Amino acid sequence: MKKKLSNKIPDTILGDNSDFFERVYKVVRQIPFGRVTSYGAIARFLGTAGSAKMVGWAMNRTRGCKNFVPAHRVVNRLGILTGKHHFSDENKMENLLKSEGVEVVNDKIINLNKYFWDPCKELI
């Protein structure tokens, strides 16, 4: 059995767990190709507006998880790729976004409004 990232989240995490993180992942997986959202938007959608940081923390936990979570589509409210450092390669996040047609310059998404996907509005 592979080592789990924490003592709390089992390998089956994204399946039958009702943790805060699990809800985050569920939302993040809904982000369409070529669209992005922010930590705060996800937190707000989950009803815990103040725990935007936890959303980012949750992304951290997705590393090594077998379930794919498009963490690269989650940026901060300004469209800055604040989480790039947490990827295997620093440029991975930017490259992934670019490969999805998102304009990224200087670690920042241009025309964020054009790509922004708000779960509160789109995920009814």
Residue 78: C-alpha distances to residues 48, 65, 82 (Å): 20, 27, 10
9 makes contact with DNA (CB under 7 A): yes
CB of 38 to DNA, least distance (A): 4
Of 123, 115, 119, whose CA–CA distance to 41 is shortest?
Answer: 119
Q: For the CB of residue 23, give the shortest distance to DNA in the complex, in Å.
A: 10
Shortest Cβ 102–DNA spacing (Å):
14
Residue 8: phi and psi, rounded to 5, are -105, -40
* Binding-residue total with DNA (CB under 7 A): 38
Contacts to DNA from residues 50-69, by CB under 7 A: 50-57, 59-63
